[in-house]
Structure 1
Amino acid sequence: MTETSANMPGVYVGLHDLIALEYRGRKVSFLPRQPVHSLLSGRFASRMRGRGLNFEEIRDYRPGDDVRSIDWKETARLRKPHIRVFNEERDRQTILVVDQRLSMFFGSRHAMKSVTAAEAAAIGAWRVLGAGDRVGAVVFNDRDFIEVRARRSRATVLQILAAVVTQNQALGVGRGLVSAPTMLNTALDHARRRAPHDAAVIIISDFDGADAATRDMVARAGAAQ
């Protein structure tokens, strides 16, 4: 923790503050609201059929089915070819979009919105990694953004947290910062272009500067999952 964050808890956040949230990340659930058979990746059932780990059903053999999936015991019992069908399980990529603009440098007596966003990002990143999935991020302020490519590693989470801390501790009044509401759409558009169609995109922001384009990007991101 830096001297600044140590002396001003709730105003700034330090790296070890975010690392310490790893345990809390284990208690968070990102279970989807979509039905079991929706097109999702990660620890979620998908419509992709294959020789996965999750058995779904035994049905009659159809032309084009993989002969390696034939259930010979059921075939012998019913005297007609039957196959075993599985739901393929894949990992799900998650992209965190973390707002650290000047508009976030405001809050209650408990904490600045920027600190709350940093803590939420840390809990989310630890949760995704704990589930065995890949996590990446787009961390942005009023001037630019830092992209961390999605990977399944502790080092990647630490890279995300370091980027958040760097931008968090750069905030402050009288530091020559100029509010740039349009950076919200810039960051969202970049995250949208980077994320595969079945990725989860988690936006942590006060949505200052949101407009019709913002709503359109968020809607398209939700429809793609």
Structure 2
Amino acid sequence: MIPRELFKKIRQIEIRTRGLVHDIFGGEYHSAFKGQGIEFSEVRPYQIGDDIRTIDWNVSARSGETYVKIFEEEREQTLMLLVDVSGSEDFGSKEKFKREVAAEICAVAAFSAIQNNDKVGLLLFTDRVERFVPPKKGRRHVLRLIRDLFAHTPQSTGTNLSVALQHALHVLRRRSIVLIVSDFFDDGFEPALRALARRHDTVAIHLQDPREEELPAVGLVELTDPETGETVLLDTWSRSARRVFAEQAYARRQRTAGLLRRLHVDHVPIRTDEGYVEPLIRFFRHRNRKGR
């Protein structure tokens, strides 16, 4: 039985994100993630301008008229959502935690996928695989995935991206779309990401919060790492302390961006204080231009 408040939140997410899919993202998703090939559909009489390479000589010979083959995109695909639910995702200095933003982004992607008759699966991870839901189609399945995103209580607080990436490699037999939603507060995952990106169409949704990048001058502050529990006391009146904090955050972002660029993984930075709609639209349209 789903708690009333959780049911209400899931329903609100469904209404909001399905509206976005209907108005904006459905067509953008279809264009950005092409099918894996083409398949024969039918034959029709030749028309001026048709490519002569598509002529069906057997049908033309039997009928006495010229016919061409019509092909359609082999549309059905699998979208796998790899979502970081480690301790750092339960952080947000504005209206929403990173985990809530992640859930809405996943809902948009999932509803876009099923609108295009694709399957959707979910893998929640910390420093282990917390939950795996095999890919399926349909609205009820997507609602289950959204429920899992909100209702799952992680067993751990740490992050190990390699474990999640290797699990995805193991379970995805056919080429799929893999959406990794994380703040990428981890190291050492390059080999696993390289292997995944070679076999699958891989996209990194990079969640960022302003308070993880820059501190306000408010005096002595205790900062606790939500993944390790380690606490440090920082004097935010100190300009040098704030500068070092900002420089380290910037360096971390640049390392992540550089790694994704080297591995040819699409990188979509999304800040919790700016919304996700515009960054996703830019990403889809960039993919469309690149594809053309």
Partner SS, residue 145 of structure 1:
strand
> Following the alignment from structure 1 to structure 2, what is the Cα–Cα distance between the partners of residues 49 and 66?
18
> Following the alignment from structure 2 to structure 1, what is the Cα–Cα distance between the partners of residues 5 and 179?
28
> Following the alignment from structure 1 to structure 2, what is the Cα–Cα distance between the partners of residues 15 and 153?
16
Aligned to 2:86: 101
From the superposition, tell whether residues 161 and 85 of structure 1 become closer, same or farther in structure 2 (CA, over 3 Å).
Answer: same
Aligned to 1:187: 164
Identify, as 1 or 2, the structure richer in strand.
2
> Following the alignment from structure 2 to structure 1, what is the Cα–Cα distance between the partners of residues 172 and 137?
15
CA drift at 1:89: 2.8
- Within the candidate set 87, 95, 111, 2:96 is matched to 111
Amino acid paired to 2:81 = L
Partner SS, residue 209 of structure 1:
coil
C-alpha deviations, 1:1-28, integer Å up to 9, x for none? 858779xxxxxx9423332322223321
Partner SS, residue 161 of structure 1:
helix
Identity among equivalent pairs (%): 23
CA drift at 1:164: 0.6
Q: Contact conserved, 1:71 with 1:83, CA < 8 A, in 2?
A: no
> Following the alignment from structure 1 to structure 2, what is the Cα–Cα distance between the partners of residues 126 and 15?
13
- Within the candidate set 57, 62, 74, 1:89 is matched to 74
Amino acid paired to 2:53 = R
From the superposition, tell whether residues 213 and 17 of structure 1 become closer, same or farther in structure 2 (CA, over 3 Å).
Answer: farther
Alignment of 1:22-37 (within 5 A): 22-26=18-22, 27-28=24-25, 29-31=28-30
CA drift at 1:163: 1.1
Aligned to 1:148: 133
Aligned to 1:15: 10
RMSD between aligned alpha carbons? 3.7
Q: Contact conserved, 2:85 with 2:125, CA < 8 A, in 1?
A: yes
- 1:162 paired with 2:147, answer yes
TM-score, normalization: structure 2?
0.54
From the superposition, tell whether residues 67 and 159 of structure 1 become closer, same or farther in structure 2 (CA, over 3 Å).
Answer: farther
Partner SS, residue 53 of structure 2:
strand
Aligned to 2:41: 51
TM-score, normalization: structure 1?
0.67
Q: Contact conserved, 1:22 with 1:123, CA < 8 A, in 2?
A: yes
> Following the alignment from structure 1 to structure 2, what is the Cα–Cα distance between the partners of residues 114 and 53?
50
How many pairs are equivalent? 193
Amino acid paired to 1:51 = S
From the superposition, tell whether residues 2 and 69 of structure 1 become closer, same or farther in structure 2 (CA, over 3 Å).
Answer: farther
Higher relative contact order (CA 8 A, sep 6+): 1
Alignment of 1:121-136 (within 5 A): 121-136=106-121
C-alpha deviations, 1:80-105, integer Å up to 9, x for none? xx652524533112111112111212
C-alpha deviations, 1:145-170, integer Å up to 9, x for none? 21222112112112211211122xx3
